[in-house]
Amino acid sequence: MSNAETRGAGDTEAHEGRVTSGIPRLDFILQGGLKQGGTYALMGPPGSGKTILANQFCFNHIARDDGRCVYMTLLIESHGKMLRHLEQLSFFRMESVPEKVYYISGYQKVRDEGFAGLLELIRATLRERRATIFVIDGMESAEQFASSRQAYGEFIHSLQALMSLLGCTTLLLSNVRERTHVEHTLVDGVLELSDQLIGPRAVRELTVHKFRGSNYLRGRHEVEISSAGIVVHPRTEVQFAHPVSSGQEMRHRMAFGLPRLDEMLGGGLPSGSTTALLGAPGTGKTLLGLSFLVEGARRGEKGMYFGFYEPPPRLIEKAEAVGLPLGRYVREGGITLVWQPPLEHFMDALAEQLLEPLRLEGSKGLRRLFVDGAEGFRAAAVYQERMPRFLSALTNQLRSLDVTTVMTDELELFQPQLNLPTAELANVVESVVLLRYVEMRSQIRRLLSIMKMRESRYDTSLREFRISQDGIDVADSFRSAESILSGMSRMRDDARDPDDTERGGASAARSKKARAAKKTTKKKDARPKPTRGSGGSRRGPRGSRGDGGGP
Amino acid sequence: MSTVLVVEDEFDVQQIVADVLRDEGHQVFVCGTGREALQHLSEFRPDVVLMDVMLPIFSGLQVLDVMRKTPGLDAIPVILMSETEPRHVQARWQFFLKKPFRLEHLLDAITRVMGPVSLT
């Protein structure tokens, strides 16, 4: 296992005898970059980004290694048009053309003189230009002049020998070809860029099919083309396929700043753990998560909010409305707000945005993370079947960084059963905190309970969770008779309405009267009516006492 | 009728430029590399050279350098073509065409360097 496997894509190092592409995370996939003097096929349909990737490789190479590049085209768009398009991209430097990046065409030579003439042209040009990177864009045009597959194979073989001799790293660009194409059997590596529609989404991906003499990250990796050029996002679960066996977590207790809740949690959440905060819309998940961050900042522990739905100003406003001084800690740098508007995202790109600042901050950096919510990752997933492995890799990585994470997941508004929208979350989190609505005397109230806390003692009682302008608070035990977790409840005969204390017992008489009137009511009336989306088995514990079982 | 040597490696550009110049009444010779250009120039002296900068083997600037140092070739007007204007050597060519250029720019460059062509 290499160090790179445990550190992640942001920490790519140059390896001896390698030429780094400088393309974000591609070198990580290739475990250090392309081999110096190696010849690599880069295939993909028109529009998949081959030309951009090859040019980006060239311009990054001259900027990082002070190399020289020759870019040969064979019957593709003219150099003038190509450069006009490339000018829009930030890696492109027109002042490096033609001194450092030199564009030529080889089409006429191969047409008039065949492969022998083309090879002579390449040899003489590369020596004259002292090139360290060579690109041929449009290999399918060259192949058309081959008298046979064998003749084309011989050309590739000769080209490869020449490049090895010159120590010139070479990329051969062509449209999609079958995996067994003669070119692919001869070259040192085969990379494929694809561009396909998956449902309504257009998805670009990169796959390394072959890479001689080195390990590499197999499978498809998401690719984005932006004004910066090509950006590759290695699959998170492959990137962190070998998590460190012993994490850095110190197992300190990380409090929410709500005395009763912290007491229930035995002082707080264990550091380095991940907690799922479940609840229907409006139950207070975001406020509870923000309370976790604010309490951390108050203690000098840096935190990050990573959310999808509420822009920072609105979030600050929302927190301040219940007395959480979020704005102050954001201004002081104790809390960072990262907002991802709910548009089309890539799951691995989101994970990178989350993990890379944490890794850069190091051990003295961010200690608390609030992800609001897990459905943002789910919505970004092109392949839903990846979710369990993705979440497992993500939480493992957070654990190894000793970052204590609270991640919300939204339950349906009317849902008697506890069905997790992101079912995979249950397996990867250490703790589960549930927020639910409960009906009490024609009033909607909120209920908080700890459903699961791995390797830790916790209070299983049910508590009322209150949100007011005075702040958020977890009240005393909420005693109910039955079906409390189905969202339907009634007071036990020996219980007092918590509000009675506040109202000086004013409602006690009314309560007694109401209970007397209900004595004739049958139990079945208390059963919840079937609601939309209530399929599946009943998972939640029943009865008036939480038993600590997970959802 | 003037003779024009077109030195251009991009096949489509080479053919289009040559056709336009022939339409204008010029005699046109074409080649695709810097090495071939020097070979042509050692055999005949065109009235004007229309030359790309980025050429296989020897660049257009290297060919221009040889021309300016060779008696007999040093006075031949050169129109350079490139995606980016070369620096520090402006005085050594007569006209610069930025690629991709339009037909009127090409004709304007030819007219400026060689004067209008009489078709009679």
B94-116 pLDDT per residue, tens: 889 998 888 889 888 888 887 65
A106: chain B residues, CB-CB within 8 Å: 9, 56
Q: Distance between CA atoms of A199 and A203, rounded to whole angstroms?
A: 10
A104: chain B residues, CB-CB within 8 Å: 9, 54-56
Q: Within 10 A of A362 (CB to CB), how many other CB atoms are there?
A: 9
Q: Could you read off the pLDDT of A223-254 as tens digits, one per residue?
A: 999 999 999 999 999 888 776 655 555 578 99
Check residue A488 and give its pLDDT: 53
Q: Pick the residue with more confidence: A307 or B2?
A: A307
Q: Could you read off the pLDDT of A467-485 as tens digits, one per residue?
A: 998 899 998 766 543 344 5
Check residue A359 and give its pLDDT: 79
Residue A540's φ and ψ, nearest 5 degrees, are -75, 150
Q: Could you read off the pLDDT of A2-29 as tens digits, one per residue?
A: 333 345 555 445 456 899 999 989 999 9
Interface of A with B in 513-542 (CB under 8 A): none
Residue A68 burial class via C-beta count within 10 angstroms: exposed 0-12, middle 13-18, buried 19 and up = buried
The reply to whether B102 touches chain A by the CB within 8 Å rule is no
Q: Could you read off the pLDDT of B36-84 as tens digits, one per residue?
A: 999 999 999 999 999 999 999 999 999 999 999 999 999 999 999 999 8
* pLDDT higher than 80, residue A517: no
Distance from CA of B89 to the nearest CA of A (A): 14
One-letter amino acid for residue A544 of the chain:
S
Check residue A151 and give its pLDDT: 94
Check residue A421 and give its pLDDT: 74
* pLDDT higher than 90, residue A489: no
Average pLDDT over residues A445-457: 89
**Token pair in block for residue A252:** 């300190």
Return the SS3 of A535: coil
Q: Could you read off the pLDDT of A49-84 as tens digits, one per residue?
A: 999 999 999 999 999 999 999 999 998 889 999 999
A108: chain B residues, CB-CB within 8 Å: 9, 11, 14, 32
The reply to whether B3 touches chain A by the CB within 8 Å rule is no
Chain-centroid distance, C-alpha B70: 17
The 3-state secondary structure of A227-263 reads CCEEEEECCHHHHCCCCCCCCCCCCCEECCCCHHHHH
Q: Distance between CA atoms of A172 and A26, rounded to whole angstroms?
A: 17
* pLDDT higher than 80, residue A417: no
The reply to whether A84 touches chain B by the CB within 8 Å rule is yes
Using CB atoms, pick whichever of B9, B58, B99 lies closest to residue A108: B9
Using CB atoms, pick whichever of A80, A98, A109 lies closest to residue B59: A98
The 3-state secondary structure of B20-71 reads HHHHCCCEEEEECCHHHHHHHHHHCCCCEEEEECCCCCCCHHHHHHHHHHCC
Using CB atoms, pick whichever of B10, B86, B99 lies closest to residue A105: B10
Check residue B92 and give its pLDDT: 77
Check residue A289 and give its pLDDT: 97
The reply to whether B85 touches chain A by the CB within 8 Å rule is no
The reply to whether B116 touches chain A by the CB within 8 Å rule is no
CB contact under 8 A, A80 and B59: no
For the whole model, what pTM was predicted? 0.79
- Do A23 and A232 touch, CB atoms closer than 8 A? yes
B15: chain A residues, CB-CB within 8 Å: none
Q: Within 10 A of A239 (CB to CB), how many other CB atoms are there?
A: 27
B11: chain A residues, CB-CB within 8 Å: 75, 105, 107-108, 111
* pLDDT higher than 80, residue A526: no
DSSP code of residue A283: S
| Ranges A154-163, A226-235, A516-525: which has the least confidence | A516-525
Nearest to A77 by CA among A141, A162, A126, A145: A141
The reply to whether A121 touches chain B by the CB within 8 Å rule is yes
> What residue in A sits closest to B14 (Cα-Cα)?
A108
B100: chain A residues, CB-CB within 8 Å: 78, 80-81, 84
Above pLDDT 90, what percent of chain B?
A: 58
Categorise residue A163: left if φ over 0, alpha if ψ from -120 to 50, beta otherwise. Answer: alpha
Q: Where are the alpha helices (DSSP H) in A326-368?
A: 326-332, 347-361
Q: Could you read off the pLDDT of A167-191 as tens digits, one per residue?
A: 999 999 999 778 778 888 899 999 9
Average pLDDT over residues A133-161: 94
Nearest to A408 by CA among A390, A433, A385, A428: A433
Using CB atoms, pick whichever of A81, A103, A107 lies closest to residue B100: A81
Check residue B47 and give its pLDDT: 92
Position B89 confidence tier, pLDDT thresholds 50, 70, 90 = low
Nearest to A398 by CA among A335, A286, A304: A304
Q: Could you read off the pLDDT of A251-266 as tens digits, one per residue?
A: 789 999 999 999 999 9
Using CB atoms, pick whichever of A97, A108, A125 lies closest to residue B84: A97
A124: chain B residues, CB-CB within 8 Å: 35, 56-57
Average pLDDT over residues A399-420: 84
Q: Within 10 A of B25 (CB to CB), how many other CB atoms are there?
A: 12
The reply to whether A83 touches chain B by the CB within 8 Å rule is yes
* pLDDT higher than 60, residue A546: no
Position A496 confidence tier, pLDDT thresholds 50, 70, 90 = low
Above pLDDT 90, what percent of chain A?
A: 64
* pLDDT higher than 60, residue A507: no
Average pLDDT over residues A384-396: 92
Best mutation target among B55, B83, B103 (most A Cβ atoms within 10 Å) is B83
B10: chain A residues, CB-CB within 8 Å: 73, 78-79, 105, 107
* pLDDT higher than 50, residue B20: yes
H/E stretch holding A497? none
Q: What value does the mean pLDDT of chain A take?
A: 83
Q: Could you read off the pLDDT of A319-372 as tens digits, one per residue?
A: 999 999 999 999 999 999 999 987 888 999 999 999 988 877 765 688 999 999
The reply to whether B16 touches chain A by the CB within 8 Å rule is no
CB contact under 8 A, A73 and B14: no
CA angle A111, A117, A119 (to 5 degrees): 115
Using CB atoms, pick whichever of B10, B32, B33 lies closest to residue A79: B10
Check residue A505 and give its pLDDT: 41
Nearest to A113 by CA among B74, B36, B61, B54: B36
What is the bridge-based pairing of β-strands A368-372 and A303-307? Answer: parallel
Distance from CA of B9 to the nearest CA of A (A): 5
Categorise residue A533: left if φ over 0, alpha if ψ from -120 to 50, beta otherwise. Answer: left
Q: What share of chain B is helix, strand, coil (3-state, %, to 5)?
A: 40, 20, 40
The reply to whether A128 touches chain B by the CB within 8 Å rule is yes
Q: Pick the residue with more confidence: A486 or B76?
A: B76
Best mutation target among B6, B8, B9 (most A Cβ atoms within 10 Å) is B9
The reply to whether A55 touches chain B by the CB within 8 Å rule is no
CB contact under 8 A, B11 and A105: yes
Using CB atoms, pick whichever of B32, B83, B101 lies closest to residue A83: B83
CB contact under 8 A, A128 and B9: no
Q: Within 10 A of A313 (CB to CB), how many other CB atoms are there?
A: 11
